[in-house]
Copies of this chain bind each other. A is one copy, B any other.
């Protein structure tokens, strides 16, 4: 069905849901994304101007521009200067053949959206070799159903590795192999819910996807503010009945802060006091450039912390390999509440185990750390040269940084203008659960940005910002 441009909202019956489903801009984004994914809005379709859609939906224009900007960053929409915002992507494979013009839309040349490691640096030869070794030498019984919780060899190597590299205190039985951090958090949320927990504190700002996962599991995501010292643990006491909190203590997303030592202790005291649990998202803690990586808080109280981690920020999200480290009580609940748990292929589990065992994984991490640090230096330098007035923060670790923008600059306009230059960036505001904040700026991911594209990307960004004043 071709959607008319003039009254898209009405025709599409965008279901924005209830206020309890999150802030308006997120609900608008979700509704649009779903309509695009399902093919209800075809590739190439022009969306109505934000003012008009806002009027149709009876919401603020900001919510619509924010939603558009995020969908541009995610690649669903494309913006062209002086023209309407159009649908650019669909997982409908016929879309291209239906609208040949769309085929020629260039992909983002400069990918500064956060969330990806350097896909060019995937250790292809080593991975292929590890798979080959396992596939050709494994006992035939390894081709049967994998045991619950994952292959024991990988669980043993992970327990050992995490103890060594992240200060994690875990036996192999405490490790459950899953497919991603979101998969792990989803499964734990179901276990929490089965145990009578109804809400999970979520960092504000924080990773939107995990907040959605918490909500989809039937739990209430409670925003807990963060500041320069990380999660404001004092605020936890203000939420009576709260017994679970999701946090990234080693490297807060998106602000890039570290949870300060007194708050690490306070967080665990809180968990013990309320008989609760801390969900520790350890997504990219290895990439620390100023000192040794901050150890996981899991090691400080393994009975109160569930740690999540995946290969998505280290090797590739295409592998679908992650793990949960949980105390026996929660591992037990996990196995009870999710009996159809999906695991990565046994062969891939064994291939990853081979990389861990041979030291290839460590070498990849070391090489990656060096590569990302150099790229960060280049990026920070380029930003200082081209955008001398804009403060940069969160640069000590990880694969992204924060670029604050003056209040005179329209962030959404920057994202849109950047997209017309094949530059994908994300707005800081998008990671807030509420509209009650002053975070004005961009989250610039450099994990998947080609080294030789950094200065050109920053030049395009400067132009986009200048255009949006």
Contact = CB atoms under 8 A, between A and B. Distances in A.
A385 interface: no
Interface in A111-125: 116, 119-120, 122, 124-125
Nearest to A350: B318
Interface in A302-343: 312, 316-321, 328, 331-332, 335-336, 339-340, 342-343
Contacts of A408: none
A102 to B, nearest CB: 15
25 contacts: A34-B335, A37-B335, A38-B328, A38-B332, A39-B173, A91-B152, A92-B173, A93-B152, A93-B155, A116-B145, A119-B143, A120-B140, A124-B135, A127-B135, A127-B347, A128-B131, A143-B317, A143-B318, A145-B317, A146-B318, A179-B342, A182-B340, A186-B340, A318-B346, A348-B348
Per CB-CB distance, the 4 closest pairs between chain A and chain B, nearest first, are A318-B346, A143-B316, A128-B132, A119-B143
A28 to B, nearest CB: 16
Contact of A38 (B186, B335, B343, B346): B335
Interface of A: 34, 37-39, 91-94, 107, 116, 119-120, 122, 124-125, 127-128, 131-132, 135-136, 140-149, 152, 155-156, 171-173, 179-180, 182-183, 186, 212-213, 216, 312, 316-321, 328, 331-332, 335-336, 339-340, 342-348, 448
A317 B144 contact: yes
A249 B457 CA distance: 57
Nearest to A15: B336
A342 B342 contact: yes
Contacts of A173: 39, 91-94
Nearest to A137: B124
Contacts of A212: 339
A145 B120 CA distance: 14
Contacts of A179: 342
A340 B216 contact: yes
